[in-house]
Structure formats: C-alpha cells, structure tokens
Structure 1
Amino acid sequence: MEDASILVVDDEMANLHLLEEFLKFDGFGNVALTTDPRRVPEMFEERRPDILLLDLHMPHLDGFSVMRQLRSTLPPGDYFPILVLTADVTSETKLRALSEGASDFLTKPLDAVEVVLRIRNLLATRFLHLQERAARARAEAAGTRAAYLAEASRVLSSSFDYRTMLSTVARLAVPKLADYVVVELADAEGRPERVAYAHADPEMEALLAGEVGLWGGAIPRGHPLVRGCTEGQFVLVSDVASALGEDAGDDEAQRSLLRTLAPRSVASVPLAAAGEVLGDVTLVTSTSGRTLDSDDLALAEELARRVMVAVEHAQLYHDALQATRARDEILGVVAHDLRNPLSTVRMAAQLLADDVAPAHRKPLDTLLRTTERMNQLIQDLLEVTRIESGKLALELHTESAGGVLREAVAMLAPLAQARSITFDAQLPADLPRVPLDAARILQVISNLVGNALKFTPAGGRVTLGAEVIPGEVRVSVADTGPGIPADQIPRVFGRFWQAGKSDRRGIGLGLSIARGIVEGHGGRIWVESVEGQGATFFFTIPS
C-alpha cells in the first residue's frame, strides 16, 4: 500500500508540507503536491493517482468543481477515492461535498493519526476495487478466448479449403484478441507464405497483403527473435520497440513500414507437424494500446494446434480426393478396354452354344450369364465415370409418368415372382406428363427395385408407388427387408457402398448411379428406414 500514488491539492503551501510529512512518516513516498487546482487534470493524467486529498475553498477553481471534472472523466463503475480536507466545518458543506463525489470528509486542524487511517481505509477499498476489476477483466478475457476458440474450431471443421478457413479464423480474432493476426505456412520450396491475415484497419490490412519482409507483420526476418520461432520456440514480446531498437529494419522502406504498422506487442507460436516447423500463427497489438501476455500466448498455442490439425485433415482430404480421381480414371480406362474383349468372348460363346447339342449347352450357358454379368459391371463403371465427370447424357421428352412406371412394373414383376416376393404397384391413374428420359428413369427404378428384391427374403413384399405433390411427381420403392442401420443411411448413395463387408451381391454402384440420374433430372433422392422394418427409397421428377 505504501507505494500508492497520492495527489494533494491545497492552496496553502504550509498545509501541503504538513500533509507530506504525515504521509512520509507513515511510509508513503509517492506523493505529488500542487497549490493550483487547475493543474489537477494534467497531473491526474500524468501520475494516475490512487487517491486525491482535496481542499475545497481555493482561488481560480474550488474543490467542488475539481470533483465534478474528475468524476466526468472516470469510467463508469470506477472507484476513485477523494478525501476532502477543509476548514469549513458547516454541515451543509460536508453534505454537499459527499453528494458531489467526495468519499470521506475531514476538517482542519488535522490530526495526523486520523488522516493516515482515513487514507489507508480509502486506499484499501481502492485496491480491493482494482483487484476485483482485474479479476473481472481476466474472467471476461478468458471467456472471450474460450468463445473464440470454440468458433475457430467450428470454422476449422467446416471446410477442407484451409486458406479460406484460416482467413476466417484470423478475422474472428480482430479486434477482440489482437489488432492484427498473421498466419504463415512454408510453400513447396520451404519459403514462408502468408496464407491468412486480418487487421482492424482495412488500410493497414492492405499493407499486410503485399508485405513479406516482416515476420508476422511485426519483426524483421533477420532478427534473432524470428530465428527462435522458426526453430519451434514460442515468442512473447511485450514491447516490440524496445526489443528491436530504433534502427530495426533492413532498409528505410522496412523501417517506414514498421513505423506505420506500429507493432506494440507480439505473441507467436510455430505450426509444427512430426517435429517439423511448417509456419507460425502471430497475434499483434498496435494502436489499441493492449499488451499481450502469457494468456494470449497460450491462446495462440491452442489455436496453432487446432489449425495444424485442420490443415492436416485438409491435406489428407485433398490427397484422398486426388487418389479417388486417379482410381476413377483407371477404372474408366480399364472398363472401356475390357468391353471389346468381353464382347468377343460373348459372341464366341453364343456361336458355340448355337452349334452344340442341348445336353452340352450347360457350361456355355453359364459362360454367357457370366459375360452378361461382367458386361453389366463394366457398364456401371462407365456410367459412374460419366456421372462424376458431368458427361451423363439425358434425352428429355415430355411423357406420361404413369406409362413409364407401368412399363417398369411389367419389366420387373417376373424378377420378383422368381424370388417368391410379392410385387405391388400403387400408381394413381392421373399421373401427369413430365419431362424425362424414359430409359434413364427405368434404369433408376430397376436399380431401386433390384436392390429391394436383393435384400427382401422370400415371402416378403416390394411396393412401387407414386403420388403427385406440388411441382413434382414423387416415386417410392418400399420393401419388407432388414432395413438399413441409422449410421449407414448417409452413405447408401456413395460409390461402392454395400450393406455389409461380406456382401458380394454387386459392387455397390446401383444407388450411386440412380442418384446421378435423378439429380440430372433436377430431382431429389433419399431413403427412410428403421432397422428391422424395411426401407423406402424416394425420388422426385420435377413437373
């Protein structure tokens, strides 16, 4: 408490010296005196006192006016004690002083013990207030940091485009956590590349966009502090100007840029993976006057960890996407190259089957069925390749939706009968004419019904239905099979999806092809299922 800053205002120099003696005798050494009340605002700004000892009746400006001036400049809720010391003993004066901002009131002549006790009590309250305010500020800052990290995590998990997500994360931090933020990653040749940045001042942000000579937009790259961060160390600089000195910068242009950006404090942590430093995240304060501390460094550390996880996930996603595209290209080439040899095999088998006696046809019939199955698989692979490349050909004609669906029933009923499954059709007579590619829609229905027949046990039921809803015809295929587990429903239209790992009744392209055809018509396709109660597939045809 003895290091508290005390400001004493009294027009009598003798009173000032007396109070100074009281205070110094009790251990207070940081005391400022003035006989001119007009200097109070200036001295208050310069010294930031913890308490004001104030006379009331003075020339030029009375104590009441001084209190009103000070109270008007203090932030809301701030407790700043003012102890009035006056020779005016009237109760009216005391009430007025207390009502206009005085915290306590003493009359002259003064008693040294009482004066010091009153000062100590007021200072104790002042320091308690400052501690509570600091604790409140720390709690609010911690809440702000936690909220920022939560929002940053949401952004980082929302996209695999790491440049976009990093730019959003940087912008979220400004200006609540820092005046500007810079994220750098090494390019293919190991050189630092600024992949994200944000500044509270748009004009300053434009400077960050084109500037690469300052690490984090704050420190020349040749400075020892930068070497520390590039070697995987955390960097916290509370006073950048003192750390760099007056001659910081490689040339006058860089020094001018530093003066313009005016970095005040820096908290930076490396972005590292497998022990290798790949970049850094840097928070910088400037004109706001804030000083970054260890809590901010901890925030940057946690942010860097989450950023690195997101970048690694994005890289894995892009690698997987590239591998998938390469696989699809190979499958397309292989399927295309297999088609002609397979046709030759089928034609030869058919010629042989035509020339042999019926008793010897069985192996050739098996060969023909196998080649037909292989041909269908090749067609599916080629179909998926066309859909993925956006080359699916549709020939739309306005036709009766009911006619196409009834044709599907006639085509698929024998398959259901052969499996001892009841195949129902619930088709309204007034289905409208809609623009569609009949052959493709038949392919969709065939895939859906075929899928339902495959998983419905003998004695079960498959139902083809349709209804008119505003703007479209909705078609459904329902079965009484085992249903689809809830965790598998989002994946059923993916390529190569199968109900189980041991399922070998196809290669899992039928539903993916159906989705491509339906979406090519501008429609939607989805499934509803409860495990153990069958599944219903729906698709729409816009009218």
Structure 2
Amino acid sequence: MLQQSRPAYHGTVQRVAPQPAVERVQGLIRWVSAPEARDHRRGYLIAVAAVVVVVTIRIVLQVILEDLAPTFIVFLSAVIVVALFAGTGPALMTTVACLVIGEWLFVPPALDLRIGGGDAVVGIAFLLEGTAIAVLGGRLRAAVTRLVVSEGAAQAREAEARRANEALRTLADAGMELNASLDLDTTLRSVASLVVPRFADACTIDLVEGTELRRVATAYARDDIGTALELFATISAEQPELRRAAWSALLGRGGVHIADLNEAVYRRLGLSDTPIAAIENIAPRSLLMVPMAAREQILGVMSFLRAGASAPFDDDDYELAQQLGRRTAISADNARLYAEARRANDAKDEFLGLMSHELRTPITVIHGGARVLRSRGETIDRETADGLLRDIERESERLSRMLENLLALSRVELDHEVSVEPVLLQRLLPGLLPGLAPGHGREFSYTSEGEPDAVAAEPGYIEQILRNLVGNAVKYSPPDVPIEVVLRARPEGAEIAVLDRGFGVPPEEAEHIFERFYRSDRTSRLASGAGLGLAVCKRLVEAMSGEVWARPREGGGLEVGFSLPAYREEGVEV
C-alpha cells in the first residue's frame, strides 16, 4: 500500500462550507429574488399573509394607542414587503386590499365603505403611494433578481473554469509523472499518488496478467480508506461478481460509473453484512473504473473512489478518468515495449556470446582435423586417422543439431498456427525411436502403457522433440545407465516421457531448464551445450497445444515428458 503524504487540495474534492450566517443571508436573497414566473401562487399567498399580519398589528395598536394608532403607515409597510418579496402584481393587490380593509374597519364610521371629505384624499394618496411602491419595488426586485442570476452564472462559469484548469493541470502533471521513468511499477505508483487527493480519495491500478488482474499501485487519503481497500481486495478474490465488474470495465472499453454507492449496490455485488459494515465505515460516495487501453489492447484498469464529504463523480470526472486511463495505458505500453526490447537485446547479446563459444569448439576440431588429414594424411597411422574422422563426425553432428534447433525455434516462433493432423503415437514411435538410439552399448527401451487415441500433432515436431530429449538424457547421465521412452494413454490424449538415471536437477530448477539458454551450474560442468534443446521442445509442444514437464525420479535421475491433446474433428463435440 502507498501511504499519502501530499497536502490537502481544496479543489474538486475538498469543499469549504460557508458560515451559517452567511449561508442564511444568501438563502434569503435567493428566496427574495426568485423569479415571479416560477410560482405566481406563492407571490399572492405572500400578499394575503402580509395583509393578515398588518391587519392584526393594526388591531393591536388600536387597543394600545386607541385613536392615535396609524392606519395607512402600517399598511404601507405591508406593500413594501410584498413588493420586494413577491413583485408588482401581489403588491398592487396588497395596496387595494389594505385600502378597502382600512376604510372599512379603521376609518370612522367603522364597517362603512362610504368615503368622504378628507378620508377620500387620504385614501387616494395611499392608493397612489402604494401603486408607486409596488411598481418601484417590483422593478427593484427584478433588478436584484437579474444581479443574483448574473452573479450565480458568473460563479458557475468561474467554478467550471477552475475545474477545467484543474483537470488540465492534473493531466499535465500525470504526463510528467508518466514520462519520468520507464520502470512500469514505479510509474504507476507515481500516477496513483498524483490523483489522491487531488481527484479522488483513493486510487488503485491493476494490470492484466493472463486472465487475472494484478494490483500494482494503491494510494489513499486516509488510513481507514487503506484498511477498507485491503479488506475489499481480500473479498474480491473470493467474489466472482466483483471480478466480473472489473472485467466489464475492461472488456466494455467504456468503464463503470457508479454515481451513488449504497447498500443496494453492495448487495448486487454479493457482499455480506460484515464487509458492507467495514466498507460503510469510510462512507463511500462514488466509484469509477476505467480501462487502460493502448494499441487495441487492454492493459489494465484504473479505479477511483470518493468517500466522506467529497462530491460524487459526475460525467466530467468520468471523462477525466478515461483520459487518465488512456494516457496511463500508453505509458504502460511504452514501458512494456522498452522492457521487451531490453530483454530481446540482452538475449541477443547472450545468444551471440554463447553461440560464438559453442561454435568455436566444433569448428576448431573440424578445421584442425581436416588440416591434419590433408597435410599429414599419408604419414599418420590408421588408428590416428580414424580418431580424427570420428572427432570430425561427432562435432559435425553437434553443429547439425545446433542448427536444427535454431531453425526449429525460429520456424515455430514465426508460424503462429501449426497444421496438426491425427497421429497414432503407438504406430509412430516404434519406427522413429531406432534412429534416435544412443548406440555405444547404451541400453535403450520403449514401452507403451495402454492404447491412446489419435493425438493432434505434427510428426516432424514429435521427432525433433524426442531427438532433443533423448540426446539430453544421454548427455547428462553415465554411459552405463539405461534410457527409457514411455508412451502413456490418457483420457484427454497421450503423453510421452523420457527417463534416465542420471544426475537429475534440483526441484527448484525444474521449470527453469526449459528457458532459452538456461544452463544449470551443476550440469553445465558435465557437458557442453547452448541451452537450446529443451527450450525448443517447450515451444514445439506448446505450438501443438500440449504441455511439457520435468520432475525428479525416485532413486535418482530425471523424467522429462510432454502431453498432446486428443485429435478432434472440427464441428464434432465430445
């Protein structure tokens, strides 16, 4: 796990909540400036409520001040409030309602709408003042509304610009990290560290290896998130639904965007109560999983998590995550190609060095023997001449085997598909093995266990494989021990094993002996060789969809064998 030590970033993920008082004032302004067209009923309800309130206040003042209680001054306050909060229309209604109620209830004689003399002048003045206040207040309210809307739009544009700049900065920084090193694991750990907590509260990167995903980088903003990720990784190894979710992000090429992580999602993934409780302790909010695709290949998957007070991922975040996935994939692909190029170059140097050494001995023997026979052939005795000819013949065969292995290896690596045919091994081997017998008095036997069905194979490849296996058994075992070839029938095909009673190999080296140019320290002192024979066998067997193995024998020696699948005609199901 990679513990984060970066300072907190107050950008997309971190948000500073406004102070309660400021928030209440902003809410009040937004409420006051809400467009009238949005809800006409609300404005007129405000007008009715204002009229009821001012009438109540006027009645209370009547009780307290008796005849000194003001009437239309109190009613004008209602008109002002309604004009600011509800607009011109409700304010005009409030003016008319207050005029009627005031003249009816509070202008003597009470409960009489007949207006005369000075009361009529006061009523007309109130009506004119109320109308002016309603119109001006409505205009003021409209201006405030436009100002608030404009300010909100400006703030939204500013926030969007800040977010876009942060996304570009994240991509630029990620590009620098990705180009800083060609070591794949180091590069991916740096990228995971970069996006936490700038973009997410946790980030994991998994690479495809065969049919599995290998976790190569993990970064998190808090220790409790790291603990939950470890638990989740343990659970996902046992939950097929979780693995399917990850592979859907890979195979679908579009990724997975879960805007709201909740218990229903966990249940759908097959999680039990215990892991759900552990995961919910970190209050996960949202999850993104995007594929790492480059050159029409899926290299891995990047996962991003937000938890706690962080905002959930939206579509813009999803697009940014996909950009990060694509750029990371290109860098991972470049690192992989660089590693492969280095391995190929190292293998080439090793091959050239090894071949120059292996070719020097037989060429020297052949060249020296030929010169001696040509220059002194008439003067040397017959026994010496025969010895020189045997040396030339032996080293010529050694060169021939070396070239055959090189040609077979290059051929099988260039041909991606091998043409196989049905082969009955119990008929092929008896005619093939006599030509592979080691001779020189070495005991050589062949036995068949059962009657295997026809296998899908290429006869020339089988001959090359057995030639190498028998040659290795002869080379690395004492001359007086037998060599055995065993054919065994299997339900799914057949297998052939070459057994000797030689020095064998340690169990920890059993897999390595099939690597190209591999020479065991223990056996390399016993006989010379280029380390190609068993590597050729492995590639030829795999080209025929078979398997190869090496295992020590009880009592000493080694068993090296290979299996081949049964032949099935196309369109025939078994």
Q: Shared topology, TM-score over 0.5?
A: no
Q: Which has the larger Rg?
A: 2
More strand by share: 1
Structure of higher RCO (CA pairs closer than 8 Å, 6+ residues apart): 2
